[in-house]
Amino acid sequence: MVSNVWATSFADTEIARRKAWGGRDDLRVAYDTASPTSLCNIGQHGLEPILRPPASATGRASGSAPNCSN
């Protein structure tokens, strides 16, 4: 992942963009050697549909953290 991006939605203008870990070519061999799998980047829009059904089944997908008062 070369960049972390902040925005209010996928369609809106970026609020900020910062360098992230894993984007330096000179460290690629070190990351590949130390990692059990290859680097993978999946955005929230792709990961959330995968995680939401099992989270809903456990009651943890309500949108609030456990033991927190809103």
As a whole number of angstroms, the distance between CA 32 and CA 55 comes to 31
**Domain-located, residue 68:** no
Count of domains observed in the chain: 1
Beta carbons of 1 and 22 less than 8 angstroms apart: yes
Per-residue confidence (pLDDT) for residue 70, from 0 to 100 = 38
As a whole number of angstroms, the distance between CA 24 and CA 22 comes to 6
Domain carrying residue 9: 3-43
**Domain-located, residue 60:** no
pLDDT values of the chain reduced to their tens digit, one per residue, 70 residues: 677 888 887 777 889 988 877 677 788 788 888 888 876 777 778 888 888 888 888 876 655 545 444 3
**Domain-located, residue 19:** yes
As a whole number of angstroms, the distance between CA 51 and CA 5 comes to 21
pTM for the model stands at: 0.38
**DSSP state string for 10-59:** SSSPEEEEEE-TT--GGGHHHHHHH-SS------HHHHHHHHHHHHHHHT
**Domain-located, residue 53:** no
Per-residue confidence (pLDDT) for residue 35, from 0 to 100 = 83
**Domain-located, residue 27:** yes
Per-residue confidence (pLDDT) for residue 4, from 0 to 100 = 82
